Amino acid sequence: MSKLTAAERNALPDSAFAGPDRSYPVHDANHAANAKSRATQQWEKGNLPYEQMKHIERRANKVLRRKGG
Tens of pLDDT along 41-65?
999 999 999 999 999 999 999 999 9
Give the pLDDT confidence score for residue 50 in this predicted structure: 98
Give CA separation, 65 vs 41, 51, 53, in Å. Answer: 22, 21, 18
- Tell me how far apart the alpha carbons of residues 32 and 38 are, in angstroms, rounded to a whole number: 10
Instruction: Give the three-class secondary structure for 25.
Output: strand
% of the chain beyond a pLDDT of 90: 88
Helices (H), the chain: 6-11, 29-44, 50-67
Inform me whether the pLDDT recorded for 1 exceeds 90: no
- Tell me how far apart the alpha carbons of residues 8 and 66 are, in angstroms, rounded to a whole number: 21
Neighbours of 68 (CB within 10 A): 6
Predicted TM-score (pTM) of this structure: 0.87
